[in-house]
Structures are given as structure tokens and as C-alpha cells.
Amino acid sequence: MEWQPDEQGLQQVLHLLKDSQSPNTATQRAVQQKLEQLNQFPDFNNYLIFVLTRLKTEDEPTRSLSGLILKNNVKVHYQNFPPAVAHFIKQECLNNIGDPSPLIRATIGILITTISTKGELQTWPELLPQLCNMLNSEDYNICEGSFGALQKICEDSSELLDSDALNRPLNIMIPKFLQFFKHCSPKIRSHAIACVNQFIIGRAQALMDNIDTFIESLFALAADEDSEVRKNVCRALVMLLEVRVDRLIPHMRSIVEYMLQRSQDPDENVALEACEFWLTLAEQPILTFLFCHKSLTKSVFASVDKHAQSQTLHLKPIKNMVLVIEINSNKISMLNKRQLKLISRFLIYIYFLKCTTVTKTNKTNSWVCPSISAFATLEEEACTELVPYLSFILDTLVFAFSKYQHKNLLILYDAIGTLADSVGHHLNQPEYIQKLMPPLIQKWNELKDEDKDLFPLLECLSSVATALQSGFLPYCEPVYQRCVTLVQKNLAQAMMYNQHPDQYEAPDKDFMIVALDLLSGLAEGLGAHVEQLVTRSNVMTLIFQCMQDTMPEVRQSSFALLGDLTKACFLHVKPCIAEFLPVLGLNLNPEFISVCNNATWAIGEIAIQMGTEMQPFVALVLNNLVEIINRPNTPKTLLENTGKCIQQAYCQCIASSYTCFSCFPPSILCTFSYANVFGNDSRRRQSDHGALCIRSRDVPELCDLYLGSFFHTQGSFGALQKICEDSSELLDSDALNRPLNIMIPKFLQFFKHCSPKIRSV
């Protein structure tokens, strides 16, 4: 006998459903407590399904709410449902899947899917056959309701549907879904595509067996008047690009043209789905294929150019880049695969970035962030290979300033900074400066000193200032002064906090760190031009205070700034050396790698500038430097900077006092000499060799010690070869006391016992 509700119980449930729609918090709490009580009675769920499917006189929100409460009960308590209750619910769902109300049909579809995910696909064998059979119904509501339920099942159970556990129902379902691509109802067509789409990424065999039919059916729907159908077509092509690009290549020109059209679709959801195609395309090997096959490349570019003729804003960069590549088409075949991929990805990312800047809803945030980040990664890989496209890149990034909001702006700053780091001085062109700097300075002026959005902007400007070099001069003074002010205010706040921690808040030292970094960027980029700015400020006093800060990151940035100012305007650094060097020596602690590295580098730069005047200060740093270079597992950068720093120290000792120089052990001398010969810094090579030659004339024994150091290890023979090649006449001259008289016998002695590699040297 079929279950029937008790009238009083039914009214109680209806009353509860009405109360649950109240906005009152107390009422909601009471409803929740009552629901927990009623869940103790198994047939309560029968009442819920009854309201959903049978009480057609009730309003739709109440009926739908009853179904959603039942869905939640299924998720939590289904294993405790008596078999009769579970059977009644299943039967009611199938019998009413064609309810006249779209809301009720959708709710029943959700309920069916929830039951199926509780392991019921295996124990509800009639479900899939009945739903598939109901697709043939002439009643639209039954067909649409069945498709809606099937779509949800395909979304939630795609792997199970392609398994032997269910005897692979997809062998029947996929061909049936494909038949409905031609249905007269756009809603049914959309359901059919969405169902099949669930099995693309997983490469379901039933779909792979029908892949050509599927693709042909998609093409037939390309111009569908329904936006949901077009969106699902775009989604299908994007996924096919990942897993079956071989089937798309013959149609690539048409697909590119179609995606260009859809990227401008009046429905934003369709346009966003089409944009995903370009991101996916950017990572596919097909890009290399396209560039290597000239005729196909030409047809694809022709399609792009055709759509760019409209001068739609976000297609202009693509049109321009197509022209650049067509002009240089004779060079395409000379590019390697990496270059082809970089160029292709560049085209795609620029296009995609421009597409996302013209969208207006919050939904685009999930698209914009990955696209900017992806482009920043491309910048790091491509570096100067982006130079021919700088104008187009800047057009796009600058346009984004007017469109992006807070979160995306922060990522945009990073992309601009990365671009500046990647292309360097190539950015220093009037055309590029005019495009880039006004929006950056506008943002700079809009932000207050306390605004944490200054952090990424300051970091961005640091990279830009370094890249623009003298091109940054028109903007340097206000930027410089504000950075000095930020550091000064931060130091003052720190002092007040230290004196009265109960009255003042601790400063956010990140403001000071990024300001110091931007000052470093200015010093590095402007070079000697920064001197006039330093003259009018108390920056040297501020640096000295920052060098003694308790926060390692502050000290790290202050040492970097000191090194850059030493190179750019040593005139202002020199009077402070007696104060600075003891502090630098105290920070030669490898426990703080970055601090130690910057301190070491700054000492080396000071040594270059000081020349022989460095000699009185060597003792302040030498022991710590030697300890660092002999320390196991010292990072490569720190090791290199330490070696160069010691080089400078010992070379200044050579030029001033041999007795001081003699304190260097031969093993250390060997290391420095080797680094000196093969170093990349021409200033150091010239300075060191010059000091050696000058001092050797006065102290002949020095040449013996210097050359002897090379024989300390066999690894030094490469350095000796370099010296012999470059200075053969000098080595056989009186200027160096004819060191060949020592070297030739040494060579002959080692010749008998050394390895073949050393022997060849």
C-alpha cells in the first residue's frame, strides 16, 4: 500500500517550511531545532518528498525548500533511511522529473544526483535507463527534467560512468546525447553539450570512439542563437585543445576565427569562456607547429587580422603584433622551439590581458589574476626577446590601470616590475617612458604614506627606475624625497615606540624597507645624477641608523643602498667610512645570508673607491671575510662577493704595504688570484693587475709569492694559462723581475706528474 501523509503532520511540516523562510534569527534557530527533532522520525523524509512532488497547490519556493531540506538529510542520514522510505523517495523523483515548474524540476534533479552520489548508482539500476528513455518523451518538461538530472549525474560521477562497475553506460549515453545536439530547444541542446563535455578531459573511450561526430556537431552549433549553447561549445573546444588537438589542427583557422568572434560575444560569460581558449592555446605544442608550417600560420594570422580591422580596442595589439611577425616572417624558420613558444605565448597572453581589461563584473577576477601572473612568468623567461613588442605590451598594461581594481592592480605592479627587470635599459626610450610613467606617477600621488598599497608600487618603481636610468630623471626628485621622508618617519616612530611602548604603536618597517629599495633603484639607475639629490638630503644619516636596526631586512636594504651610493656618488659616502665600516664588519655573519651578502658587497665597492686609503680599515673586516670563505656550504653568491671583497682588500695592501699583504695565506691568495683572472668585472681586473705590477717593481719577492700561490692547487693552472696568454712579454721583463725563471722550471716539474688535462694547459 502506498504511503500517505497524516494531515496533521503534513500541516506541521508546511508550517515549519513557512517559518524557515522568515528572516528573523530567533525563528530560524527555532526551525533548526525543530528539524533536528523531526529527523528522529524516519517518515519525516516522506513528508518532505510529498510536499516537493505532490502538493502542486503550494507555492514553488516552499516546495523547492522542502526538497533542499530533504537533500541535506540524504547527504547526512541516507544510510539510516529505512528501505521503504528510500524506495518511496526514488520513485517520486522519477515520477515527477517532468514537473511543469523549472524550479521543481531542477530541485528534483539535484535530489536524484545527491542520492546517486551516496553509492546508489550501483543499487538503483533503473535510474540511468529510465532517464535516458525519458529523453525521447514528446513532453518538453519530461525531456528537459531528465536531461537536467543526467547533466548533474555526469558532473558528479563521470569516472564511475566510464567504468566496468556500471557496465559502461556511456557506450549508450554518449551517442544518445549527440543526437540531441540538433534538438529544437536551445535548453536541450545546451544540456546535451554539457553532458558530453564532462567526459573530454578524462578521454572516456565512448567519446573518443565518437570524437569526429562530436566535433562536427560542435561546428554545426557554432553560430547558435542561444548564449548558453555558445558557451558550452567554447568550453568543449578549449578542452579538446588540451586532449585531442590532433583532431582540431585541420580546422584550426576556422577555430581561431570562431574564438576571435566569441571573444567579443555580447554575452560576457561566452566571451570569458572563449578567452580561456587563448590561455590554453598558449601552453600547447601546436604553437610551434603553427609557426613552423607557414601556410597555416599565415591563415591563422589572416583570421586575426580580419577581426582586428574593426579596431575593437582589445584587438589592436594583436593586429600590430601580427604585422610585426608578418614583416619578419622570413626569420620565423630560424627560430628555435623555445623562441617560437615564447612568441606565441606572448601573443596569446597580451590578447587575453586586453580581453580581461574590458570586462566589468567581479567574475573576471578569477581570470585576470592568472593571466597577469602567467604573463609575468613569460617575461622572466623571454627577457630581452620581448623588446620588439614593448610598445604593444605597454599599451596593454597601461590600459589595464584604468580598468583593474585593488587586487588586480597589485599583480599588475608586479608584471610591470618584472618587465622592467627583464628588458632593462631597452625600456629607456621616450615613447615607452611617456606611456608607462604617467599612470604610475598618478597612482603614486593618489596613495597616502600610510597606505600599504605603496609596497608593491614602490617595488615596481624600483625596477622601473633601474631600467630607465637617466630616463627617470624627470620623475626622480619627488620620488626620492618621498622615500627619504618615509624612512625618516619610520625611524622617528620606532624611536618613540622604543621610548614609550605604551603610548605609541610599533612602526610597520616594510614601509622603510621598500623605500630603501627604491632609493637603491634610483642610485643604480641614475648613477652620478643621484648626487644632487643626495646633496640636498640627510640620507647618509638615515642609512647609518638603518644599518643598526634590529630587523635584518632593514639592514639588508640599507647595505644595498650604501653599495649603490658608493658606486654612484662616493663623494658623499667617503666622509662616513670611519663610522660605516665597523658596522659593516659586525654584519659579516653568514647566519643572516642576505644581510651578510649585501654587507660584503658594499665593503667591496667601498674598497674599489678607497684605493690605498682602504688599508687602515682592512683589519676591521678581514678575519670575518676569511672565516666566511672557509665556511662549508657557503651560498655561491655570498662566496663570490666575499672573494671579490678580499681581492680588493689584498690588492690595496699590495699597493700600500707588503708587510700587510704577507698576512694572507697562500691558499687564500690562490683563490683570489683565480677569481681575479676570470672575473667579469673589468674595473677589478685592471685595478688588481695594475697594483700587482706597480708594487712588484719595488718588492720583487711579491711576484714570487703571488705566482707561488697559483701552484698551491692544480686548479690554478687555468688561471696561469690566462696570464701567460695575456702577459707573455711582461712575464719575461725586468718589470716583474723575470718571473718566467721561476715558472718554467715549475711547469716542467709538474708536467711529469699532473693529469692529462693539466698537462695540456
| CB 112, CB 156: distance < 8 Å | no
Place of cell 640627510: 538
| CB 348, CB 374: distance < 8 Å | no
Supply the pTM of this predicted model.
Answer: 0.53
* The pLDDT value given to residue 29: 86
Residue 504 reports pLDDT greater than 50: yes
Tens-digit pLDDT profile for residues 458-481: 899 999 999 999 999 999 999 999
C-alpha cell at 35: 528539524
| CB 145, CB 109: distance < 8 Å | yes
* The pLDDT value given to residue 115: 93
Q: How confident is the model at residue 516 (pLDDT cuts 50, 70, 90)?
A: very high
Tens-digit pLDDT profile for residues 605-617: 999 898 888 888 8
Residue 186 reports pLDDT greater than 90: yes
* Residue range 741-754: mean pLDDT, rounded: 64
More confident residue, 577 or 286: 577
C-alpha cell at 125: 539500476
More confident residue, 4 or 652: 4
Place of cell 587563448: 278
Place of cell 662577493: 641
Residue 414 backbone phi and psi in degrees, to 5: -65, -40
Lowest mean pLDDT among 205-209, 303-307, 396-400, 415-419: 303-307
Residue 756 backbone phi and psi in degrees, to 5: -55, -35
More confident residue, 232 or 503: 232
DSSP H helical segments within 54-169, as ranges?
60-77, 83-95, 102-115, 121-123, 127-134, 140-156, 158-161
* The pLDDT value given to residue 210: 95
* The pLDDT value given to residue 283: 64
More confident residue, 669 or 261: 261
Q: How confident is the model at residue 94 (pLDDT cuts 50, 70, 90)?
A: very high
Comparing CA positions, the residue from 175, 275, 173, 188 lying closest to residue 231 is 275
Instruction: Specify the 3-state DSSP secondary structure of 474.
Output: helix
* Residue range 551-563: mean pLDDT, rounded: 95
Q: How confident is the model at residue 117 (pLDDT cuts 50, 70, 90)?
A: confident
Tens-digit pLDDT profile for residues 336-348: 545 545 555 555 5
* Residue range 519-523: mean pLDDT, rounded: 93
More confident residue, 617 or 404: 617
Q: Cα–Cα distance between 568 and 573 in angstroms, integer?
A: 10
Residue 358 reports pLDDT greater than 50: no
Residue 368 reports pLDDT greater than 90: no
* The pLDDT value given to residue 612: 83
Mean pLDDT of the chain: 79
Q: How confident is the model at residue 372 (pLDDT cuts 50, 70, 90)?
A: low
Lowest mean pLDDT among 161-175, 193-207, 386-400: 386-400
Q: How far is CA 634 from CA 248, 289, 292, 592, 625, in A?
A: 53, 45, 46, 12, 12
* The pLDDT value given to residue 699: 40
* Residue range 43-71: mean pLDDT, rounded: 92
Residue 353 reports pLDDT greater than 60: no
Q: Cα–Cα distance between 413 and 619 in angstroms, integer?
A: 44
Find the helix or strand (DSSP H, E) in which 696 lies: helix 682-698
Instruction: Specify the 3-state DSSP secondary structure of 279.
Output: helix
Residue 60 reports pLDDT greater than 50: yes
How far out from the chain centre does Cα 223 lie? 36
Residue 686 reports pLDDT greater than 50: no
